[in-house]
Amino acid sequence: MTASERNLWKALRALDLHIRRQAPIGRYVADFVHHPSRLVIEVDGGRHDLSEEQLHDAERDAWLASQGYRVLRVRDVEAFGNPEEIAERVAAEIRRFVV
């Protein structure tokens, strides 16, 4: 995991929502996933600004969507600088889909 992912992981674990890290889903490995709500959380660094990476991300997101997953992408600077805010956004998304 990158430093940003480790930082966000601490905040996500503190919420005790049963989120898994580095979780395989088909041919992909999600940075984080909450299976009951079908939410994938991806932490994107600067390389994701490159056109070939954007294409790969779009293909990956489409495949995950075909499997019933939603993808929440956050920038690595957000995850590193304000992980608690990102964790709260994740928690809100989970609450929307889990009764």
Question: What is the reported pLDDT for 97?
Answer: 86
Domain segments of the chain: what residues? 3-97
Domain 3-97: CATH superfamily, name plus number: VSR Endonuclease (3.40.960.10)
Burial class (CB in 10 A: 0-12, 13-18, 19+), 63: middle
25-59 residue pLDDT tens:
999 999 999 999 999 999 998 776 767 888 989 99
Instruction: Tell me if the pTM is above 0.85.
Output: yes
